[in-house]
Amino acid sequence: MVSITKTKVLNEQIIKMTKRAFGEDVVVQDIIELKGGFFNASYIIVLNGEQKVVLKISPVKDLKVMRYENNIMETEVLVLNKMRCIEGIPVPRVLYYDKSGEIINCEFLFMEFVDGRSLNEIRNELTEKQYAKISSNLVDIVRKINGIEGEYFGCISQENKRFSTWYEAFLNMVKELLEDAEDVGISFPFENNKLYRIINEHRDSLNKVTKPLLIHKDLWEGNIIIDPKTIEIVGVLDCERAIFGDPLLEPICGYFWDNKNLMNTFVGREDLNRDEYVRFTLYKVYLYLIEVIECNYRQYPGEDRDKWARSQINQALKELEKIHLED
């Protein structure tokens, strides 16, 4: 995916980063750019002895990104190290992290290479039985991730965005998105205060969430790595957007809420209760706001997606107003 946030680097710079991480004697045998992803530039680096590692490079430090995307490589490092302590969460080990800006005006991160194929890539090759097995495995992993408790709600690497209640944290997340939109001239057919009012009307439902639990927040099929021989999940990638909040945000931002069997297992029953449904609908508004806004920041085409996401926002807002009137 072509995106303005993906930093263009020279091979000479990559070699310098690699030697900074692994020592001057290391030999770089090959550099393979990974074309997927929407935010960071990523490479497979083949070292002497055929060892493979992954290099991730952040956007340049003076590039304007969305507010929640500030410091997210630091978030990824912190979260990966935290997840590595929990048995059964298959995440790569952090090998080296540099935010000095001495080699390049970016942060960069080396991590273990995970050998496999993304679920998104092999989905059409799987039988329903195989996909059901992966879905069950994924729920087990997600529950372990969501079992990590924090001391606050909100951002992990931005201390000024940590809150004592989930309502405050979520309201701030939405406010930041609307500020991002204003910065680049994106408008919506509603006043910001209308959305804040709707969120406030449902604050009791948000505050039913009393424990700040770790949310990966980007568990779409492209970030789930499968061993094609065993059909097991061998890697969960891209933890950089993780926050402490409500686990019900996970299926929204991971786009797996329409997988009924997976959702039933994740929630533990077939239907959401009233407060869960309210939060679920609020999170859809949040997700679709991101979808509308981020195309401008990435500078990649998305007109059809923009129209569809806007229609989904309007539909969710109508549903939330209907619920409030029925109370």
Question: pLDDT per residue over 201-224, tens digit each?
Answer: 999 999 999 999 999 999 999 999
Task: Tell me the pLDDT tens digit for each residue of 67-86.
Answer: 999 999 999 999 999 999 99
Which pTM does this prediction carry?
Answer: 0.93
Contact 125, 213 (CB under 8 A): no
User: What are the residue ranges spanned by the domains of the chain?
Assistant: 11-112, 117-326
Least confident of 68-77, 244-253, 317-326: 317-326
Instruction: Give mean pLDDT, residues 310-324.
Output: 91
**Average model confidence (pLDDT) for the chain?**
92
Alpha helices in the chain (DSSP H): 11-22, 72-84, 119-122, 128-146, 166-183, 192-201, 203-206, 249-253, 260-267, 274-298, 303-326
The per-residue pLDDT for 265 is: 81
pLDDT over threshold 70, residue 301: no
Question: Is the predicted pLDDT of residue 299 greater than 90, yes or no?
Answer: no
User: What does the alpha-carbon distance between residue 171 and residue 199 come to, in Å, rounded to a whole number?
Assistant: 7
Average pLDDT of the residues in 142-156: 97
Which CATH architecture is the domain 117-326 placed in?
Alpha-Beta Complex (3.90)
Residue 107 identity (one-letter amino acid)? E
Mean of the pLDDT values across residues 252-281?
85
Express each pLDDT in 160-203 by its tens digit.
999 999 999 999 999 999 999 999 999 998 999 999 999 999 99
> Could you give the CA distance from residue 6 to residue 18 in angstroms, rounded to a whole number?
19
Cα–Cα distance measured from residue 295 to residue 291, given in angstroms and rounded to the nearest whole number: 7
Segment 111-134, tens digit of pLDDT? 999 999 999 999 999 999 999 999
Among 31-40, 141-150, 268-277, which range has the highest average pLDDT? Answer: 141-150
Share of the chain above pLDDT 70, in %: 98
Q: Is the CATH number of domain 11-112 3.40.50.10470? A: no
